[in-house]
Structure 1
Amino acid sequence: MVSDELKLRRPVWLVILFMVAIGMGLGMVGGLVERTAVTVIVTAVMLAIFGAYERVLKHNYVLMSGLLAGGFIGLIVGGFGYWLGGNVTNLLDGTLFGLLRGIIVGAVVGGITRAQSDEGDSWRTNIFLLMGSLLIGAILGASVGLISGFVLGLVRWHDWGAWVVMPLGAIVAGYLGTYFQRKELILASALLGGLLTLFSSFMGGAVAGVVLGMITGALAPMLLMALIGAGGGLTSRGVKAMLVEAVEAPAEMLQQGAFPFLAPAVIVGVIVGTAASGASGLIALPLCLAVLGILLAVFSEVDGRIASKLNARTLVEMVILGAEDLPIMAVPQKLMSDSKAAVLGALFGLTVGGISTAIGAWLIQQLF
């Protein structure tokens, strides 16, 4: 038992080296794409989150591997999106931009989480299962990418697009607020979501990509549930019931455990949004997925399901498969259990992250 504990707990000096390496690596990427200041700030914040949880969790190796796996996936996907190119200036190219990336990301995820064949199945069965998984993933990804690309195109098309999108942010955030089943929190969530959407739309760049990607990603499964509810209400009780069921269905989805529906869609939305932000996406996406890796590592401990490490496949499977009972509220509560250690860890991570990222950016600028 002691040896197992030691395998999941790395010494302080190794954790510090890990943080410095992550900071310098991202700093170099930020320096290459000429986004040094933003990279220093957001990397420092990410390592502050890592540092806070590293101090309060019993096991830090899964935390390190989660950050590394998420960041690596983000860097690969972001690099591929940047290589594909494309520009979002209006509704048409925004929609096509999102559709293409949604299909690609969905197909990749479908391949990773493909249906497994039984022992003794023929090669035809294996190919059928693989192609079926790729097709289903591509269709689901396309639906999210279509919505995300359309909204991004609307914002880029004209200044009034930001005002049109603002109510979408309020609606999505309001529905997310129903998770807490308190009227004041629902209203506060809606107000905050609307203002954040409007602010990010005018900000543009990676900020708009991340926020609008999250909003539109969450919107896709909500619209699906609303359509299903509307169809059921119309066929059973008429038009009035159709409207009522359409409004209530997304909230019911959230109450019954919406993480498996929302998380994959939100990730696809963020991928599309950051890809549309150009070079900034090479920084924004790895950082977003690295934070996701950190949070999934925290989930695994607070839920009592400690893994020796997280990798690309296990991260994807935790998001898409068997994630309906993730203890969301236990994540911030974990920090409150030892707030002093969490604050010290966050300050240390913020300092190390800021300094190491700045050094990495400076080094790469000297080389090029």
Structure 2
Amino acid sequence: EFECKKAADSYARATTSRTGVLDCSKLHTYKYNEDLFKKVTTLADGKNHGLVFVLDWSGSMVDVLLDTLKQLYNLMWFCKKVSIPFEVYAFTNDYPLVPKNEDGTHGVRDLPYEKREGLLYIAEWFSMMNIFTSKTKIKDLEKQMKNFYRLASSYRKYGYLSVPTGLSLSGTPLNEAMLALHQILPQFKKENKLQKVQCVVMTDGEAAPLKYHREFHRHREHEPFIGTSTIHRNAFLRDRKTGNTYSLDCEWYEFTDILLRNLRDNFADVNFIGIRVLEPRDANSFIRRYTGWNSDSFFRMQKIWKKERAFAIRESGYHTYFGLSGTALSSNSEFDVDDGATKAKIKSAFVKSLKSKKMNKKVLGEFIELIA
């Protein structure tokens, strides 16, 4: 489907020249044919695409991590198939960035920036783990994907197997990840010589608002101390690069949308796509955040959810925010029946497999529409 759309776009951009060099093989037809020139087709350059995936590696993902990985793997295989470069990052605050001290205590890592009053605070233990890349050979990539799938499976087995250092599920530094994209996106675009970048964020929820650095005067200290403080609703976020300001008079869960608006203002050629795997009980409250409680949009979205177990919201900080049912994704989509099964059982199994595949195809179809 993606290749068909690319081919159609290429055809639309093609122009054919009908003047210039004579085609000698057609000269004998000059009495009844005016088209005697060699045809030259000029094709306008298409756009080189690349994708950056951001995966939530927090503890709240434990019930939907496997299903989220399935969607991620579908998109990664798609990228590999059509030769689109990609990088996958998982955000965490568990990965040890500094070795332990001799006494076994954790070392202290310096902040990657100079602390100044008014700057947003990025915790020392925040990391973006680059877990997959299209630069890897396909056999090595599939091995890595299997290892992470096994790892995600182990989290659902309570009293589970030991987890590699730094890969335990952690808090939710989603907002820190949004800030890190200011460095990741231009670097990825430059390294791969891309014209268009898609950024896909896969998470199960929102994160607490960031804190900011503030100067305090403490007793018995002559020099002021720069610590951290909570951001209040009467504050504004200012981007020193663009000069844009953003009011922070919002609900706590809308802080991420503000950071996404800031990203979109900085990177106009990047599509930001959200993918959220939902438990059925969470769908209505999630939809209401963007449509209101009794609006026509809410009832329309609710109807789509009940029928398709998937929906797309376009009123958030993302260009498109997909909601997917975790239970629908986890159901087996294989058409498998026992020997001697009745016609009714065969029909039921077939319809069940089609429903799951239909949902996956719908999401991939809308995704392709965004990036083709």
Query: Where on the TM-score scale, by shorter chain, does this alignment land: which range?
Result: under 0.3
TM-score w.r.t. the length of structure 1 is 0.27
Structure with the larger RCO, 1 or 2 (CA within 8 Å, 6+ apart): 1
- Specify which structure has the higher proportion of helix: 1
- Specify which structure has the higher proportion of strand: 2
TM-score w.r.t. the length of structure 2 is 0.27
